[in-house]
Amino acid sequence: MHDRRLLLSSIPALALGGLCRGAAAAQTKVLRMATQKGAPILMAERQQHGLENLLNPLGIEVQWSEFQFGPPTMEAMRVKAVDIGLVGDTPPIFAQAANSDLLYVAAVPGSNEVILLPAGSKIQTSADLKGQRIACARGSAAHNFVIATLEKSGLSPDEVNLVALAPADAAAAFEHGSIAAWAIWDPYYALYENRPGTRVLVTSADIAPQNSFLIGSRSFVTANADLTGQVIAELTRISEWAAANRSDVARLVSEGTGMPYETELRVMQRYPFKIVPVTDAHIRSQQDIADRFLRLGVIPQKIDVASQVWRPRA
């Protein structure tokens, strides 16, 4: 509850006042939200129509676009096709390195990344990944997770064969045995973890804390600060409801994704369902990721994460 008070205190007073009075100061008549298939907070929000119920009476339309994972979401924001979205820790780093003008507007602490091994794998430790084909989505949180795992094991990315595959393609490669390991997140983690012979080599909890972030287009957020505050307040509300109703969220998401209820329930049982302000600790963690990719020559320029954090007026 302390985190919620801190978050709400960071939202412009006019935004929360508008939330209570049914009025909003906004320069737009359309809010374009980006979501990912299976993203619990946004899936719950979309199913319950909370933003629509809040904003439609004010003459603001809510449009949703669904993406497979974070990098396409950031590309859509770069070309101004979406205004606000929820992504993992690494996509905004790559987007900022590509000169995308974005803002971190809130954080979702905790993430469940894993490296999965197929049935019959002889790999026992992270050091055994040397020389192996490891699938991950380039520019995703899993990409950073793999590199951090290798570093902790004393390996460099040059000592493995990183195969850039989107989640659906990586799933096919995993099933066909054409990769030795797969770095992935929920709900794919939950979908595969109980398959016969599949093993989890390492989790993000074993390596380093990971976070997700609500990211907004700078032009949108600065022109619609009060509306952005209302979005954060509504997503905070739905997060608190979801945390107290995980089985109901699992059912909602299962209906929306077609994944088995039991799979989604495992996802919901370990999902943080918490939205907090972007803190100095988040900024340091993000800067560490940016510096890692710069050091490896994966991104072309040094970036300053702190300059991309939304700091709303009190």
Q: Do domains 2-110+210-307 and 113-207 have the same CATH topology?
A: yes
**What is the structure's pLDDT at 312?**
85
Q: Using an 8 Å Cβ cutoff, are 29 and 240 in contact?
A: no
From the number of C-beta atoms within 10 Å of its C-beta (0-12, 13-18, 19+), residue 152 rates as middle
Rounded distance, CA 177 to CA 154, Å? 26
Superfamily of domain covering 2-110+210-307:
Periplasmic binding protein-like II (3.40.190.10)
Secondary structure class of 87 (helix, strand, coil)? strand
From the number of C-beta atoms within 10 Å of its C-beta (0-12, 13-18, 19+), residue 313 rates as exposed
**Partner residues linked to 311 by β-bridges:** none
**Would you give the distance in Å from CA 307 to the centre of its chain?**
20
What is 113-207's CATH number? 3.40.190.10
pTM score of the predicted model: 0.87
Q: Using an 8 Å Cβ cutoff, are 211 and 281 in contact?
A: no
Q: Using an 8 Å Cβ cutoff, are 221 and 103 in contact?
A: yes
Express each pLDDT in 86-105 by its tens digit.
999 999 999 999 999 999 99
CA angle 110, 225, 44 (to 5 degrees): 45
139 Rama sector, left if φ>0, alpha if ψ -120 to 50, beta otherwise: left
Write the DSSP assignment of 115-166 as a string of letters: EEE-TT----SGGGGTT-EEEE-TTSHHHHHHHHHHHHTT--GGGSEEEE--
Q: Using an 8 Å Cβ cutoff, are 279 and 107 in contact?
A: yes
Domain ranges of the chain: 2-110+210-307, 113-207
**What is the structure's pLDDT at 26?**
64
**What is the structure's pLDDT at 191?**
93
Q: Using an 8 Å Cβ cutoff, are 132 and 181 in contact?
A: yes
Rounded distance, CA 282 to CA 301, Å? 21
Q: Using an 8 Å Cβ cutoff, are 221 and 231 in contact?
A: no
**What is the structure's pLDDT at 19?**
40
Rounded distance, CA 74 to CA 80, Å? 10
pLDDT by residue, tens only, the chain of 314 residues: 444 433 443 443 334 344 433 334 568 999 999 998 778 899 889 888 999 999 999 999 999 999 988 999 999 999 999 999 999 999 999 999 999 999 999 999 877 899 999 999 999 999 999 999 999 999 999 999 999 999 999 999 999 999 999 999 999 999 999 999 999 999 999 999 999 999 999 999 899 878 999 999 999 999 999 999 999 999 999 999 999 999 999 998 898 888 899 999 999 999 989 999 999 999 999 999 999 999 999 999 999 999 999 998 75
Express each pLDDT in 13-45 by its tens digit.
334 344 433 334 568 999 999 998 778 899 889
**What is the structure's pLDDT at 110?**
79
